[in-house]
Amino acid sequence: MITSKEFVERLKSMRPNCYMHGQLIQRDDPRMMTSMKDILMTFDLVDDPGYKDFITATSHLTGKTINRFTHIHQTVDDLLKKQMMTRVLSRLSGTCIQRCMGVDMMNALSVVTKEADDKNGGKTEYYERFKAFCKEFQEKDMVGAAAQTDVKGDRLLRPHEQADPDLYMRVVERNAKGVVVRGCKVHTTVGPYCDELIVTPCRTLTKEEGDWSICFSIPADTKGVHMLIEAANPTPRKAFPAEVEKHGIAHSVTIFDDVLVPWDRVFLDQDPQLGGRAALLFALYHRHSYTGCKPAYTDILMGTTALIAEVSGIEKEQHVRHKLAEMISIAELVYAAGIAAAHTATKASSGTMIPNVIYCNVGRKHAGVNIYHEYDTLCDICGGQPQTMPYEEEYADPKWRAYLDKYFARKKDVSPEIVHRAFRLAQDLIAGPVASNMQIAGVHGGGSPIMEDIAILGNYPIEEKKNIARRLAGIPEKEIKPKEPKK
């Protein structure tokens, strides 16, 4: 394992290929340092006795102690620890711990590469290539970005039907050295500060779409890769420093301009069926991670709601108690879904644990449909102050501070500074630059709501439920053929 300092040094040695506000930026640009603060925490906490047990794991490939963000889940306990780690670290960060994308991709590839070799009767060597890469990923303590979502063009057309075939990432050439890929991936969280871009298709594919069924990993500064960056960083504090101002997040539009991927980094090619499976498996692992981080974000919104109610003297009001009970129910039901998904996980032929598809998706769906409701609750309890309160400079100016302390006081035994800090936090959460990122990610991160419905309906035994109704209604039950689970 490496330290966060070593990680930043490694980033600095990479070829600059990230563009922001019209400039080519360095990977340790101060704005990126704020965005990557969460990632740095995942290196810094490995020796902390309070975190060590779940942030580290034992590699199934080397037997060495590794960061859990590079681990391939071997047991139910691994899945549970990953979920708990995601909740605990996301609470600390106040946003999203960000490093899950890489490990979720690695787990998906560990399954698919082995299944491809099994299917091809030993004619391919994807799993051996993957294991060699995985060892390197673990030894170097790498950070991976999931470059999955294609730009997709006309939404009613399949990849091979698009007017421009590059609207979904595809192979344009195969040669002795490797494959040449062209396309553009969007929403690449951690793109500007990752080691590797790990790529899979983003959807199921048809038999015409062998060129689009490509899975691989390459260093993020590989020739031909260009990243256009957007960063959602919090407003820096001037007078009242706080943890919340240290954590942002950045994403890239990631352009692959005829990029050569060497054969040893190609993990699937010309297999539309398994290309689609890789897409769905990544989403499944990420939705399981989400059953850890989404409860954490509800914890943050719930805690802030309760704090604002406390400093305002209304914490015992019935409507406040009902709202908090609702938030608790959301957080703990989502978390419980992740626990259930781990306990009903199945083992892939590679030995990797695959969490239960129904529980992961219902947990993720429950979180997604409630995200704006949670913001609504905090906003309701706060009133308009998070949006209209004066800037920090006025609080720091003795001329205005006396007025502000007097007129913004709430409960008599609560100091004006505590009231101010509580509302400033609420401002960061519901009216600051990170808020919109967390709201949109709360709906679309890990797959948009429709994708959860598709996964749930495609895997749920609805015919069994109809038979329950038939029996109760006196209608003959139908024979149900067992269906292959779609992961």
- Contact positions vs ligand SF4 (CB under 6 A): 86, 90, 96-98, 100-101, 286, 289-290, 293, 441, 445
Alpha-carbon span 112 to 70, nearest angstrom: 17
- Distance from the Cα of residue 62 to its chain's centroid: 27
Tokens for 433? 């630059």
Residue whose C-alpha is closest to residue 193's, from 151, 233, 238:
233
Tokens for 70? 């590079």
- Nearest distance in Å: CB 203, ligand SF4: 19
Q: Are 257 and 223 in contact (CB under 8 A)?
A: no
Pairing mode, if any, of strands 225-232 and 249-262? antiparallel
- Nearest distance in Å: CB 88, ligand SF4: 11
End-to-end, the C-alpha distance of the chain in Å comes to 32
Q: Which is nearer to ligand SF4, 69 or 127 (CB)?
A: 69
Q: Which is nearer to ligand SF4, 99 or 170 (CB)?
A: 99
Rg (CA), the chain: 24
- Nearest distance in Å: CB 100, ligand SF4: 3
How many Cβ atoms are within 10 Å of 13's Cβ, its own excluded? 8
- Nearest distance in Å: CB 289, ligand SF4: 4
Q: Which is nearer to ligand SF4, 170 or 366 (CB)?
A: 366
- Nearest distance in Å: CB 139, ligand SF4: 23
Q: Which is nearer to ligand SF4, 106 or 422 (CB)?
A: 106
Q: Helices H, strands E: what count in the chain?
A: 17, 15
Q: Which is nearer to ligand SF4, 51 or 290 (CB)?
A: 290
CB crowding 282-301: b at 16 or more within 10 Å, else e: bbbbbbbbbbbbbbbbbbbb
- Nearest distance in Å: CB 86, ligand SF4: 6
Q: Which is nearer to ligand SF4, 51 or 423 (CB)?
A: 51
The type of residue at 283 is A
- Nearest distance in Å: CB 32, ligand SF4: 17
**Distances in Å between the alpha carbon of 459 and those of 53, 208, 484?**
34, 25, 8
Q: Which is nearer to ligand SF4, 86 or 312 (CB)?
A: 86
- Nearest distance in Å: CB 143, ligand SF4: 11
Residues in the chain: 487
Q: Which is nearer to ligand SF4, 93 or 110 (CB)?
A: 93
The label of the residue with tokens 């709906």 reads 443
